[in-house]
């Protein structure tokens, strides 16, 4: 006897077909989806699963393993789900951030970051088609935008997306909102929606033609008037504010009122990952960004890019005297120490946030632990260099942080280097 297994069925509806209780499927080729980055399009291929070869919906997928690549889809519905293909034999893991915002207010109603990897007890399959990467329901019956961004990659894993499904909040296809004005490429085939305010009124077209000349003349005249006003204001400004620049040269640096082109004394430190998952701490390179005289730090949402910060120029806010080479080098070292401490603090928060989730805990915790160890080694090296140069800045030795992930000891906030305390 022949056995037939049915996965799902797709029905094409008309413009007036009732949609209540239905689920709409949107293929990755639909032009209402916006793809940003270097997504590779795979067409006409079958994914070997180990049971039966499975073809993706629409006979194709979009695939990427580049951090920062993203996709967006705007819809009118109360739930959304994203499906694709997952490779159980690929090494490493891939992390993506899923965000739902209200459209067009851009208010974030939901955000989640998930990592996908093949565990030790993975099923005996090569690939899984119709793999659920994300779903969310209980949305308000209004317009929303789903954004998916790749935030971390390790090994040779990639994000392979096939299709979306959502439950509509409109009653029929003819009532579906037209989101083509917010998309760079327009609405996909098969959507059946009609843009508003489109008609064949010949009298309206004739009226628009008769006024074309008047509109064009008004636009040209307005542009010319604005250009004259801007030129006059620029001339007045140049006459009333002559340049007064005083500069004192010290090596390759300029000290004075005009410091727009001065290289920053702050060094950015960013942690990267090699394709095989190893952590790489690159050489420190000076930025070319001008910093003000206040100390501030900013943090990155990416789990694999460390936080960076900015610091005051080593000469103080007055720029009244030259600093010695040792003073400048000490300021650079202390600024970097504070930035590294900020990075470790951020990684602590990520490890605590992920520690309760067994799906993403193990690989993420291991990667963050390795990063923290590298940062700790860099901090100790900088402090040894500071001792040879004469000590720390006026704020005293920087606080060093360490986090215990897998049986490591820790340096608690507020302690000095070498004062290790057990984690309770």
Q: Which of 149, 170, 191 is the last residue of a domain?
A: 170
3-state secondary structure 298-352: ECCCCCCCCCEEECCCCCCCCCCCCCCHHHHHHHHHHHHHHHHHHHHHHHHHHHH
Is the preceding omega at residue 104 within 30 degrees of 0, hence cis?
A: yes
**Sequential DSSP letters for 105-168:** T--EEEEEEEEEE--TT--S-SEEEEEEEEEE----SEEEEEEEEEEEEEET--EEEEEEEEEE
pLDDT at 2 over 50: yes
Strands 70-87 and 127-136: antiparallel
Round to whole Å and give the CA distance between 128 and 130.
Answer: 7
The pLDDT-based confidence of 6 (bands split at 50, 70, 90) is confident
* CA-based nearest residue to 336, from 380, 370, 303, 367: 380
Which pLDDT value is given to residue 113?
A: 95
Q: Which of 137, 170, 203 is the last residue of a domain?
A: 170
Which pLDDT value is given to residue 126?
A: 78
Residue 50 lies in a domain: yes
Q: Return the bridge partners of 74, or none.
A: 145
Q: Which residue has the tokens 């410091």?
A: 259
pLDDT at 202 over 60: no
Q: Are residues 252 and 385 in the same domain?
A: yes
Residue 212 lies in a domain: no
Q: What are phi and psi of 33, to 5 degrees?
A: -90, 130
Residue 69 vs residue 289, higher pLDDT: 69
CATH of the domain at 138: 2.60.120.260
Q: Are residues 292 and 164 in the same domain?
A: no
User: What's the whole-model pTM score?
Assistant: 0.44
- Per-residue pLDDT tens digits for 203-239: 333 444 444 444 445 555 666 667 777 777 777 666 6
CB 324 within 8 A of CB 253: no
- Token representation of residue 395: 């704020």
Residue 42 vs residue 404, higher pLDDT: 42
Domain with 145 in it: 24-170
CB 118 within 8 A of CB 90: yes
pLDDT at 196 over 70: no
Which pLDDT value is given to residue 147?
A: 97
Which pLDDT value is given to residue 348?
A: 77
Which pLDDT value is given to residue 151?
A: 96
Can you say whether residue 154 is alpha, beta or left, with left for phi > 0 and alpha for psi between -120 and 50 degrees?
beta
Total of domains in the chain:
2
- Per-residue pLDDT tens digits for 337-380: 788 788 888 777 777 776 666 655 566 677 777 778 887 887 88
Residue 395 lies in a domain: no
Residue 299 lies in a domain: yes
Residue 353 lies in a domain: yes
- Token representation of residue 179: 């989101």
CB-side neighbour CA atoms (13 Å) of 230: 6
Average pLDDT value over all residues in the chain:
67
Round to whole Å and give the CA distance between 424 and 26.
Answer: 51
pLDDT at 424 over 70: no
Which pLDDT value is given to residue 248?
A: 36
Q: Are residues 29 and 166 in the same domain?
A: yes
Q: Residue 11: count other Cβ atoms within 10 Å of its Cβ.
A: 7
Residue 160 lies in a domain: yes
Q: Which of 170, 191, 206 is the last residue of a domain?
A: 170
pLDDT at 390 over 90: no
- Per-residue pLDDT tens digits for 85-105: 998 888 899 999 999 999 888
Residue 14 vs residue 320, higher pLDDT: 14
Q: Are residues 140 and 272 in the same domain?
A: no
Q: Are residues 137 and 259 in the same domain?
A: no
Q: Are residues 32 and 157 in the same domain?
A: yes
Which pLDDT value is given to residue 308?
A: 36
Number of H helices, E strands in the chain: 4, 18
């Amino acid at each position: 006897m022949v056995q037939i297994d049915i996965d799902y069925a797709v029905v094409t509806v008309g413009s007036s077909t009732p949609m209540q209780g239905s689920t709409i499927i949107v293929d990755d080729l639909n032009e209402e989806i916006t793809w940003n980055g270097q997504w590779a399009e795979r067409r006409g291929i079958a994914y070997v699963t180990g049971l039966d070869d499975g073809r993706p919906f629409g006979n194709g997928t979009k695939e990427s393993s580049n951090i920062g690549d993203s996709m967006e889809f705007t819809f009118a519905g109360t739930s959304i789900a994203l499906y694709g293909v997952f490779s159980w034999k690929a090494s490493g893991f891939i992390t993506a951030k899923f965000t739902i915002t209200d459209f067009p207010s851009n208010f974030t109603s939901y955000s989640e970051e998930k990592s996908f990897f093949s565990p030790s007890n993975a099923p005996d399959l090569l690939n899984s088609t119709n793999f659920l990467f994300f779903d969310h329901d209980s949305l308000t019956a209004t317009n929303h935008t789903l954004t998916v961004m790749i935030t971390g990659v390790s090994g040779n894993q990639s994000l392979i997306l096939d299709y979306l499904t959502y439950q509509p909040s409109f009653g029929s296809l003819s009532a579906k909102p037209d989101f083509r004005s917010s998309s760079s490429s327009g609405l996909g085939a098969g959507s059946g929606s009609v843009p508003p305010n489109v008609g064949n009124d010949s009298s309206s077209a004739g009226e628009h033609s008769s006024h074309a000349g008047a509109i064009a003349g008004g636009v040209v005249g307005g542009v010319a008037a604005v250009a004259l006003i801007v030129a006059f204001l620029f001339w007045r400004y140049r006459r009333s504010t002559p340049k007064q620049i005083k500069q004192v040269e010290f090596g390759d640096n300029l000290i004075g009122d005009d410091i727009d082109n001065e290289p920053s004394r702050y060094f950015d430190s960013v942690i990267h990952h090699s394709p095989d998952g190893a952590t790489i701490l690159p050489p420190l390179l000076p930025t070319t960004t001008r910093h003000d005289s206040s100390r501030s730090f900013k943090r990155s949402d990416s789990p694999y890019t460390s936080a960076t910060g900015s610091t005051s120029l080593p000469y103080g806010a007055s720029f009244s005297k030259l600093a010695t080479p040792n003073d400048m080098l000490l300021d650079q070292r202390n600024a970097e120490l504070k930035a590294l401490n900020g990075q470790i603090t951020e990684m602590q928060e990520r490890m605590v946030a992920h520690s309760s989730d067994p799906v993403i805990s193990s690989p993420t915790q291991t990667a963050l632990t390795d990063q923290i160890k590298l940062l700790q080694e860099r901090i100790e090296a900088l402090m040894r260099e500071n001792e040879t140069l004469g000590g720390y800045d006026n704020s005293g030795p920087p606080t060093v942080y360490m986090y215990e992930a897998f049986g490591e000891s820790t340096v608690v906030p507020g302690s000095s280097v070498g004062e290790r305390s057990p984690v309770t």
